[in-house]
Structure 1
Amino acid sequence: MRKKWSVCLLWANFVLAVLLFSLAGPARADAYQLVSKTGSDEIITQGAVLQTVRMSTVEGPLNVYMLKADLSDPYLKIDTIIGSDGTLNSNQAVTEMAKRTWAVAAINGDFFQINESGRTIGLAYQGGHLVESPAQRTDMYGFGLTTDKTPLLEIFGFSGQVTAGNGKSFPLSGINKPSYLVMSEATSDTDALTLYNSLWGTTSRGKLPNLTGVVEVVVKNGVVQQVLTDQPGVPIPADGYILKGHGLAAKFIKENLPKGAKVTFTYSVQPQGDKLFAAVGGQALLVEDGHLPAYFTQNITGRHARTAVGISRDGKTLYLVAVEKQTADGTVMSIGMTQEELADFLISAGVWRAVNLDGGGSTTMAARHLGEFSVSLINRPQGMSQRRVPDAIGIFSTAPQGKLSGLQVSGPSVVLIGRSGEFGVKGYDEYYNPVNIDPGEVEWSAKPEDGSFRGSVFTPSEGGTFTIRAELGKASGTATLRVIGPESISQLVVSPAQINLEPGQSVQLSLQVKTYTGESFDLLPGDVDWTVDSSLGSVAAGKFTAVNNTVSGVLKADFHGVTATVPVTVKPSWVDLQVSPKKDSDISLDGWITINFPAGSLSEKTTIRLAYAPAPTDLAAGLSVLGTCTVNPLQGDTTLEGAWDLDWQYSKDVITSRPAILLWDTATQQWREQPAEIEGDGEIRTISARLWSFGGLILVEDSRKAPSFKDTKGHWASQAISRLALSGVAKGFPDGTFGPGQPITRAQFVSLLAAALQWPAPENQPSFKDAVPQWAQPAIAAAVSRGVVTGYPDGTFLPDARVTRSEMAVMINRALNIGEAEEASYKDSDLIPAFALDAVDSVTEAGILQGSNGYFRPGDGATRAETAVAIDRVIKWWAAQ
């Protein structure tokens, strides 16, 4: 996590993250609730141990890694690692820092400016040399180690002075400091004189953003070489330094340090600056005398990855601590800690005094495992990858190369009976530092001796717990191996648990064994013996292949006497229907989907295939696929002469919202709802649709909210309008209205009728003397091809003319082919045109068009609301036939 300051301490014109500054006591937020805790220790080198603590909490898993270094060990050295090349010029990942300096372990150090310069905020000492002076603040603690290995966890101070050859002097504010906020709330560059040497990097800071009058002095061998004002940075001499001043400091430079002038400087760091060997800056004091301090000088709230350094009461043990926070693939691996929780944890671990270091994405720990020659990353960084940081605290071994003392054995901790385990070995000396060995000279053995070694590969013959032993001369090492035998297995699990295939198809089988203790282990195809009737199919390389006919039976798997059976059904995922044009033809697929082709729906004999199909993935939100199928002729040139019927059964518990049948329209490349009705009120219900096309079909549950319009609330036709809008038959206007009282034209009516009955557009377009709107052309062409509409004797269609109720009756009757009906009795029957008399009788008896107050009003036009109700009734009548 980056350094964060409160509003009262915001950087002036510098890009820094925000550190919450608190002078209140440590807020005791609810700590994590511990469920269980385990720990393990691993020797890194003589005097250094890596302790891993894994906790289970109510909030989730929590991992903490702690390096414990014995400061009294003569072969153990603690020092700061700086940057990628020993300077602050560029940062580096902690693992790379450790590898470059041959450290046996390391952890990230100070807070730093992640954007402006990448340099640290606090102090840094390396090998007894000052790299960077402390910040001029009284709320930032640091860690230091003297040359006699005395640890210091204090607020470090700095004082210095620059003296010109004429005897005039000016206070030195710092050495190799980036911009930061001093306690006066001003930036550290204001009125300040700062020194930069080659440990800063290759180039001076030069002109500063938002400050003018910045003067830099190039000093070499104690003599001023250049005086530059508001100029870009210049190279820092290897045998000299740069003095940078602003305000009063710039005035001092200009008056007392001209080119050729002599200049000297002195400084001191408190406490014990003359004895410091290693040091890094930090933030708040976390632990004071084995307790929480009265308050945190700064507090970064929330649970984060965190880094800390602490010491024991006797000052002999150094603790370097990394708290992990990590989420991978949506799974929380470690929840992190608050600053208060970290302090409590350190106290429980026996830490007497501790300081918070940089955390969040910077928290990184590296350590060398026993027998290894290089370090490895120990924690999982919060940002998934290591962040480059400016400094780290390193642990080094100064022990001489010793003789081979022990062997570190690595390999599997558990294997299944029938499997082999391959083991590796590495050597270390009496100081726990790595020793090169020849693995081929290692002798291997196991206790008990129920198994055999081939080189370093062990094959057990029985289940149980084995001690694997490696020996080379007088050195040896062991590892524990648990072998899962049949006596430990509670269940053999085969997936899929039930197999349904088409003839000749194959399916890959996966297997697992489960133990009585709840463990699961994957099996390989060769681990089990299969028993399968040859009439059913065959198993090879873990894949079952069905025979080429319809059959059922079982597969049997055997793993060292533990068995499992799998029911197998082999049958086609389709059925074929032989359709005769002179009689009704129907067929069912597994009893759930039935298709019927009435006599006359096809002009010639043909074969129709009803088959299951993959579910589409591109449906609108709110539509859930419950089943998919295709209905297609095996002869591609088959033409429909009439509609065919589809019945699709479903459980009422599966669909709680509105069911619908959708057909894939190849012309428009979209799914279109088909006119349908629901039948039955029991556990199993049927949705029935009448269709004019072949192709892909899906049964969906439509949980979308029915569309509503600004001007239809409470309207007598609102329900019919909503149903048509939901199914895509009717639409409103862009302003959110439907216009129920607006008149409807001939083109609009024909388009609604075609959409309601889902007529596919024919290839040929009819020819009228007047222009037909492009949007209505497919519907009018479909209506003309079905004899539903013909146009006027003069060869016009008059698409924009208002449709009359008589014309609506004729078009609806022709579309539905309702048939003969009793004569309708209307007071204005004598006004009904002769061409519409039979049609009015039919649509009246069908309940699609009704008069009002005994009048049919044959010459009146229809409103959009009246038309919506009529089209809604058309859909219901059509689907019910």
Structure 2
Amino acid sequence: MTGRHRRARAGRAVLAFLTAFGALTGAAPAGAAPAGAVQKGGRIAPGVTYEEFDIKAAKGVTHAHVLRADLSNPRVRVDLLYPGAVASRAQVSAMANTQGAVAGVNGDFFNISETQHPGVEATGASVGPAIAAGRTLKAAVPDGQRFGPALPPGTSTEDVFGVDGDGRARLDRLALAGAVRTTGTELPLGGLNQYALPVGSVGAFTSEWGSASRVRATCGTDTDRAAPCSTDVHEVTVRDGKVVSAADTPGSGPIAAGTTVLVGREAGAQQLRKFSTGETVEVEHSLVAATDGAAYRLALGGYPVLTGGQPLPGLDSTTSTVRTAVGIAGNGRRVLLLALDGAAAYRSGLTIAEVAATMRDLGAEDAFSLDGGGSSTLVARRRGASEVSVRNHPSGGAERPVPNGIGVFSG
């Protein structure tokens, strides 16, 4: 065989490998990753694949890890990973293994610190709405109380990535609707299991909240997260529909099933002081979708960066860091989960504008930014393993406990 024939045969073998890899990952060989990317990966489970590749970005080369989940496969679904309480944190790998996920990434931004409020503990609760397995866990904090980078113009803490009752992934906005009713009185509900309540409102805390102190809910304002805690607060505990106790300081500890703790600040506190022990109280709440009133099986917060194949206007193109994002393709039937590598060689990361462009290159029609930096984590099972392992390198050197994530399930 001549050298020319050997080279031709080798070229055909490489082409065959790339074609097979493209079929395995559910994407065409061209466009499966940004141009010039170095790829490797494979199938995680039926309908779920993993790949990793380099991206040449503005601040240098970064390394991406991507999961693809085919929701048209009846064996595949995505749902919320969380530790069992809103005000709690756990590592993505631990949540995935506990819930039986084959893969997943970290989720929403969260109340990570309270340096501006001495003596007040951070709750660990997420910023945006959260729904798990069709069950509403929490609503969104006011925009000014958000942790994380500045929101792109026109976006809100109420923005969510979700999966609706038909099993389609979509971007939407979920607003809290609710009321507190007594005989002759009806108060609008301003919050549900949130680490920050709107000024002058009443918020409800249920057993989904967990054991964390509720003091943080009365700190800051709708426009200034660092503003002092309110000095006009009141708390009322309702059990089985009746007031059983009241206090002038928000408490802590587990909330029993069938019990709702109402926390009021300013005008809300003044209204709650009118409640009396034994009085009948009804509390109702729901999350209402902005688009068509859709019911969601899964929802979590972050912010959109790509809609209908077009980047949102005003996306930051200067600040590069390690990122996590979720994309939607195939009319909501395919989900892409991206987490960048936090190893020192790749830590320059991507700007948000570059995240939008990367997700579009990967085939996403819509994309949504999740928490990044030290939180960015992607986990997946290896061949033959019964538990997930971390595939990227978290930038802090170890997995950071987070309040929630997106889990991929197959089986």
- Normalising by structure 1, what TM-score? 0.38
Measure the CA separation in 1 of the matches of 2:204 and 2:335: 32
Measured after TM superposition, the shift of residue 300 of structure 1 is 8.7
Measure the CA separation in 2 of the matches of 1:36 and 1:59: 16
1:201/1:105 CA distance change after superposition, 3 Å? same
Is structure 2 residue 269 aligned with structure 1 residue 250? yes
Is structure 2 residue 281 aligned with structure 1 residue 263? yes
Measure the CA separation in 1 of the matches of 2:254 and 2:40: 50
Mapped contact 2:57–2:350 kept (Cα < 8 A): no
1:198/1:53 CA distance change after superposition, 3 Å? same
Measured after TM superposition, the shift of residue 274 of structure 1 is 6.3
Query: 1:359 — aligned with what?
Result: 372
Is structure 2 residue 237 aligned with structure 1 residue 218? yes
The structure 2 residue matched to 1:205, chosen from 208, 214, 218, is: 214
Query: 1:105 — aligned with what?
Result: 103
Is structure 2 residue 187 aligned with structure 1 residue 170? yes
State the secondary structure of the residue aligned to 1:394. strand
Measure the CA separation in 1 of the matches of 2:56 and 2:214: 49
Measure the CA separation in 2 of the matches of 1:123 and 1:300: 27
2:171 alignment partner AA: L
Query: 1:133 — aligned with what?
Result: 139
Tell me the number of residue pairs that the alignment of Structure 1 and Structure 2 aligns: 346
Measure the CA separation in 1 of the matches of 2:86 and 2:317: 25
Deviations 1:622-651 (A, max 9, x none): xxxxxxxxxxxxxxxxxxxxxxxxxxxxxx
Measure the CA separation in 2 of the matches of 1:236 and 1:335: 43
Measure the CA separation in 1 of the matches of 2:298 and 2:57: 37
Measure the CA separation in 2 of the matches of 1:132 and 1:51: 33
Query: 2:31 — aligned with what?
Result: none
Measure the CA separation in 2 of the matches of 1:133 and 1:51: 34
Query: 1:396 — aligned with what?
Result: 409
The structure 1 residue matched to 2:390, chosen from 377, 381, 384, is: 377
2:301 alignment partner AA: G
Measured after TM superposition, the shift of residue 99 of structure 1 is 1.3
1:351/1:203 CA distance change after superposition, 3 Å? closer
Measured after TM superposition, the shift of residue 223 of structure 1 is 0.8
Q: Which has the higher contact order (CA 8 A, sep 6+)?
A: 2
Measured after TM superposition, the shift of residue 369 of structure 1 is 1.6
Measured after TM superposition, the shift of residue 128 of structure 1 is 0.6
Query: 2:308 — aligned with what?
Result: 289
State the secondary structure of the residue aligned to 2:98. helix
Ranges in structure 2 where 5+ consecutive residues have no aligned partner? 1-33, 114-121, 144-154, 220-228
Measure the CA separation in 2 of the matches of 1:176 and 1:381: 29
State the secondary structure of the residue aligned to 2:37. strand
1:148 alignment partner AA: D
CA RMSD of aligned residues (A): 2.1
State the secondary structure of the residue aligned to 2:271. helix
Mapped contact 2:178–2:188 kept (Cα < 8 A): yes
2:299 alignment partner AA: A
Measure the CA separation in 2 of the matches of 1:359 and 1:300: 16
The structure 2 residue matched to 1:303, chosen from 320, 325, 328, is: 320
State the secondary structure of the residue aligned to 2:385. coil
1:259 alignment partner AA: T
State the secondary structure of the residue aligned to 1:346. helix
Deviations 1:574-615 (A, max 9, x none): xxxxxxxxxxxxxxxxxxxxxxxxxxxxxxxxxxxxxxxxxx
Query: 1:153 — aligned with what?
Result: 171
Query: 1:277 — aligned with what?
Result: 297
Mapped contact 1:324–1:335 kept (Cα < 8 A): no
Mapped contact 2:141–2:198 kept (Cα < 8 A): no
Measured after TM superposition, the shift of residue 197 of structure 1 is 0.6
State the secondary structure of the residue aligned to 2:407. strand
Measure the CA separation in 2 of the matches of 1:97 and 1:234: 22
1:91 alignment partner AA: R
Matches within 5 A, 1:481-560: none
Measured after TM superposition, the shift of residue 294 of structure 1 is 2.6
Measure the CA separation in 2 of the matches of 1:57 and 1:162: 51
1:62/1:211 CA distance change after superposition, 3 Å? same
1:240 alignment partner AA: T
Deviations 1:423-448 (A, max 9, x none): xxxxxxxxxxxxxxxxxxxxxxxxxx
State the secondary structure of the residue aligned to 1:42. strand
Measured after TM superposition, the shift of residue 301 of structure 1 is 4.8
The structure 2 residue matched to 1:317, chosen from 334, 341, 356, is: 334
1:139/1:232 CA distance change after superposition, 3 Å? closer
Measured after TM superposition, the shift of residue 233 of structure 1 is 3.2
Measure the CA separation in 2 of the matches of 1:274 and 1:199: 22
1:107/1:168 CA distance change after superposition, 3 Å? same
Measure the CA separation in 2 of the matches of 1:60 and 1:293: 24
1:49/1:235 CA distance change after superposition, 3 Å? closer
Measure the CA separation in 2 of the matches of 1:56 and 1:390: 31
Mapped contact 1:161–1:170 kept (Cα < 8 A): yes
1:232/1:291 CA distance change after superposition, 3 Å? closer
Mapped contact 1:310–1:319 kept (Cα < 8 A): yes
Measure the CA separation in 2 of the matches of 1:189 and 1:293: 27
Measured after TM superposition, the shift of residue 189 of structure 1 is 4.1
The structure 1 residue matched to 2:160, chosen from 142, 145, 149, is: 142
Mapped contact 2:40–2:53 kept (Cα < 8 A): yes
Measured after TM superposition, the shift of residue 316 of structure 1 is 1.0
Measured after TM superposition, the shift of residue 41 of structure 1 is 3.5
Mapped contact 2:92–2:105 kept (Cα < 8 A): yes
State the secondary structure of the residue aligned to 2:311. coil
Matches within 5 A, 1:10-25: none
Measured after TM superposition, the shift of residue 385 of structure 1 is 1.2
Measure the CA separation in 2 of the matches of 1:338 and 1:293: 13
Query: 1:347 — aligned with what?
Result: 360
Measured after TM superposition, the shift of residue 384 of structure 1 is 1.3
Measure the CA separation in 1 of the matches of 2:384 and 2:249: 55
State the secondary structure of the residue aligned to 1:36. coil
Mapped contact 1:212–1:230 kept (Cα < 8 A): no
Measure the CA separation in 1 of the matches of 2:317 and 2:200: 30
Matches within 5 A, 1:6-45: 36-45=36-45
Measure the CA separation in 1 of the matches of 2:353 and 2:133: 33
Mapped contact 1:367–1:375 kept (Cα < 8 A): yes
Query: 1:124 — aligned with what?
Result: 130
The structure 1 residue matched to 2:201, chosen from 171, 188, 192, is: 192
Measured after TM superposition, the shift of residue 76 of structure 1 is 1.1
1:323/1:273 CA distance change after superposition, 3 Å? farther
Measure the CA separation in 1 of the matches of 2:280 and 2:235: 15
Measure the CA separation in 2 of the matches of 1:109 and 1:395: 13
Mapped contact 1:161–1:266 kept (Cα < 8 A): yes
Measured after TM superposition, the shift of residue 290 of structure 1 is 0.8
Is structure 2 residue 255 aligned with structure 1 residue 236? yes
The structure 2 residue matched to 1:91, chosen from 86, 89, 92, is: 89
Measured after TM superposition, the shift of residue 325 of structure 1 is 3.4
2:302 alignment partner AA: G
Measured after TM superposition, the shift of residue 276 of structure 1 is 0.9
Measured after TM superposition, the shift of residue 44 of structure 1 is 1.0
Q: Based on CA coordinates, which of the two structures has the bigger radius of gyration?
A: 1
Query: 1:52 — aligned with what?
Result: 52
